[in-house]
Chain A
Amino acid sequence: NAGVTQTPKFRILKIGQSMTLQCTQDMNHNYMYWYRQDPGMGLKLIYYSVGAGITDKGEVPNGYNVSRSTTEDFPLRLELAAPSQTSVYFCASSQPYLNTEAFFGQGTRLTVV
Chain B
Amino acid sequence: QKEVEQNSGPLSVPEGAIASLNCTYSDRVSQSFFWYRQYSGKSPELIMSIYSNGDKEDGRFTAQLNKASQYVSLLIRDSQPSDSATYLCAVNNAGNMLTFGGGTRLMVKP
Pick from A42, A92, A94: contact of B103, CB below 8 A: A42
Shortest A59–chain B CB gap in Å is 8
How far apart sit A16 and B6, CA to CA, in the bound complex (Å)? 35
Select the stretch in B55-63, B67-75, B91-99 that faces chain A. Answer: B91-99
Shortest B42–chain A CB gap in Å is 8
B94 closest partner in A (C-beta): A98
B43 closest partner in A (C-beta): A104
Category for how many chain A residues contact B: 20 to 34
**A13 within 8 A of partner (CB):** no
**A90 within 8 A of partner (CB):** yes
By the criterion CB–CB under 8 Å, are B97 and A90 in contact?
no
- Give 10 CB contacts A-B under 8 Å: A33-B97, A42-B102, A50-B96, A97-B96, A99-B32, A99-B49, A99-B51, A102-B90, A105-B43, A106-B42
Interface residues of B (CB under 8 A from A): 4, 6, 8, 31-32, 34, 42-46, 49, 51, 88, 90, 92, 94, 96-103
